[in-house]
Amino acid sequence: MSDGTLPDLDPVIHAQARLRVVSALSQLNESDRIAFPRLQEILRMTAGNLSVHLRKLEDAGYVEVTKTHRGRTPATLVRLTRRGRFAFEEYVTVLRSLLPPGETP
C-alpha cells in the first residue's frame, strides 16, 4: 500500500456466503471435518446454496469435500484445507490493513 493502491481481497473468499463458510470452517482444528448438515445448520443456508459455495471453494482448493458412509447412510464431510486456511489468514490480514490503525474487524 505504500504506492497508494489498496491490496486486493481474495474474490473467492470475499463473497458473503463463502466468507461465512470459510470463517466457520476455520474454527475447526486443521484435521477436523464437519458433516454437511451440521455446517448447513450453523450457517442457516439451504443445501443447494451451501453446495454451490462449497463447490467454488473446492475448485479453488480451499475446502475438501469427502463423500462417505456411516453404516449404510451416506455422509458428506467438509474441512478447510491448508491452502484454504492460509488464504483465509491472508484475507483477514489484508482486511485489517484496510482499517484505520487501532480498529479491528
The residues of the chain scoring below 50 in pLDDT are 1
Share of the chain above pLDDT 70, in %: 93
pLDDT of residue 17: 97
pLDDT of residue 5: 76
Share of the chain above pLDDT 90, in %: 78
Does residue 20 come out as left (phi exceeding 0), alpha (psi in the -120 to 50 range) or beta?
A: alpha
Annotated domain spans of the chain: 11-98
pLDDT of residue 9: 92
Query: Could you tell me the CA-to-CA distances from 3 to 6, 7, 37, 100 in Å, in that order?
Result: 9, 11, 46, 17
pTM, to two decimals: 0.87
pLDDT of residue 30: 92
Considering the segment(s) 11-98 as one domain, its CATH architecture is: Orthogonal Bundle (1.10)
The 10s digit of each residue's pLDDT in 33-59 is 999 999 999 999 999 999 999 999 999
